[in-house]
Amino acid sequence: MKTTVHIGRTGRANDPREVIKGVLSTLNALGPAEQMIKPGSRVVIKPNLTADTKLWEKGIVTNPYTVEGVIRYVQQASPAEIVIAEATACGLDNKKAFRDNGYEEVAARTGAVIIDLYDEEFVTVPVENGMVAKNIQIAKRILAADFLINVPTMKTHVAAGVSLSLKNLKGVLPEVEKRRSHFLGVNKFVTDLNSIVKPQLCLIDGTVAMEGDGPMQGTPVNFGVIVAGTDAMATDIVAARVMGFDPWQFKCFNYARSQGLGICNEDDIVLSGVPLEEVKRSFRPASGPIPDIPGITITDGGACPGCLDGVRIALGRIKTANLLDKLPAFHIIVGEEGRVTGENDVVIGRCLRRCRGMKHYVPGCPAQVFVIADELRELAGEQRLFGSKEQYLLQEDEANEKQNGNSAISRPGRACGEGSSQTR
């Protein structure tokens, strides 16, 4: 089966008329709203609000004018209601995220309703043949929508490579599930989530995109490109190509393909609109070498890029906070084959969970940047900014893990300190 993905252009990202015009042109080219959406439908629009300050102009948050364009498109179909719904990142103020990024003004102009999903009911949904989850809690409003529109930003991501339609669905989860996703393995968990939640329309906002250390610390790209389709997987594949990436270099795409999610064969994707080669740009990836810092030794025991780059970005945050001089000499270990030698070693990542009892073990697959940075702050004698790491340190049975049909709790791991290592 073939599907169409449309590549469109917008004008200046901060000009609402130009952005709305570009969005309407793109979506109308993909298909008239009256044919796409049944009259009287309950429509939910899911943007990406990864920050509770005004950061959409930096490519971190979905441009509010892009969402306004989507609303204007939907209104052509005479829906019963249009809702803008989101549950932002852990520890952030969802309502402030809507307010500071201009969404309240969009709602006032269009009559759309803003919904803080954290105020709503979440229901537990079983995952059939999941990669890591047997069930997932999802916002009931999302599941009840007649028509769901996913409007992510176009950006690089330290854990997933890119953050597009598939990754953006994490915003339909409660905080406990967001933490669980990083414990189990965020790319596999996102794949399981996408086996349940299937938007009918995706529009990837590249009015202001991001390259480098996304999703939060990358560099804005004033791009003026949007990508739209009715199949999330196909739309993401095209967006990744627009960003200059081979989508199959990223785990999230390969996991989705292995689970049969959406249209993965690029021969079955029909491109329309602006030619791909005309807008294609080589985005700088969210990866790079870890700098040499006196007193800090880093051992790579076969770690994935997510943990390595998480360490790099976390060290950058500590440097920015002028805390490097407060750190004692210590050793960071990442990767399953890493050898742990001392009680003050900082041990990173779930593949070293045999060391979870150590003082400076940081959980996660990959470990989240802010949790690593908090561990380093603690080591420097400073207070943590994001609370206890214990909320991310789940037991295997708590996390309801499923790998190859067997619980990981039944597989004995090596004792802490075993394994070879390679120092970087």
Crossing angle of helices 186-194/175-184, nearest 10°?
120
**In 219-304, alpha helices (H):** 232-242, 251-258, 276-279
> Residue 412: pLDDT above 60?
no
359 shares a domain with 314: yes
Q: Is residue 185 part of a domain?
A: yes
Q: Is residue 289 part of a domain?
A: no
Q: Which of 250, 279, 308 is the last residue of a domain?
A: 279
| pLDDT on residue 272 | 98
Q: Which of 251, 279, 307 is the last residue of a domain?
A: 279
Q: Is residue 157 part of a domain?
A: yes
Is the CB of residue 159 less than 8 Å from the CB of residue 221? Answer: no
Q: Is residue 290 part of a domain?
A: no
**Mean pLDDT in residue range 110-128:** 97
Residue 366 to residues 43, 255, 311, 369: CA-CA distances in angstroms?
A: 34, 15, 10, 9
Distance CA 325, CA 328 (A): 8
Neighbours of 128 (CB within 10 A): 9
Q: Is residue 291 part of a domain?
A: no
Q: Is residue 285 part of a domain?
A: no
**What pTM does this model have?**
0.92
307 shares a domain with 275: no
347 shares a domain with 251: no
Contacts of 246 (CB under 8 A, 6+ apart): 240
Q: Is residue 97 part of a domain?
A: yes
140 shares a domain with 13: yes
273 shares a domain with 328: no
Distance CA 406, CA 58 (A): 43
**Which tens digit of pLDDT belongs to each residue from 63-88?**
999 999 999 999 999 999 999 999 99
- Can you give the residue range of the structural domain that contains 314? 296-423
311 shares a domain with 247: no
Joined together, the tokens standing for residue 265 give 């064969």
**Mean pLDDT in residue range 212-229:** 96
Confidence of residue 402 (pLDDT cuts 50, 70, 90): very low
274 shares a domain with 157: yes
Q: How many domains does the chain have?
A: 2
323 shares a domain with 183: no
Distance CA 71, CA 73 (A): 5
Mean of the per-residue pLDDT values for the chain? Answer: 92
| pLDDT on residue 153 | 98
Confidence of residue 344 (pLDDT cuts 50, 70, 90): confident
8 shares a domain with 67: yes
Q: Is residue 287 part of a domain?
A: no
Any bridge partners for residue 299, and if so which?
333, 423
CATH of the domain at 27: 3.40.50.11440
**Which tens digit of pLDDT belongs to each residue from 7-56?**
999 999 999 999 999 999 999 999 999 999 999 999 999 999 998 999 99
> Residue 390: pLDDT above 90?
no
Strand-strand pairing, 42-47 and 122-126: unpaired
Distance CA 348, CA 310 (A): 9
217 shares a domain with 177: yes
Crossing angle of helices 64-75/103-110, nearest 10°?
20
| pLDDT on residue 395 | 66
> Residue 128: pLDDT above 60?
yes
Distance CA 335, CA 365 (A): 11
Candidates 183, 98, 185, 192; CA nearest to 138 is 192
Residue 30 to residues 10, 23, 54, 241: CA-CA distances in angstroms?
A: 15, 11, 31, 19
189 shares a domain with 242: yes
| pLDDT on residue 221 | 98
Any bridge partners for residue 202, and if so which?
150, 229
248 shares a domain with 101: yes
Joined together, the tokens standing for residue 180 give 């669980």
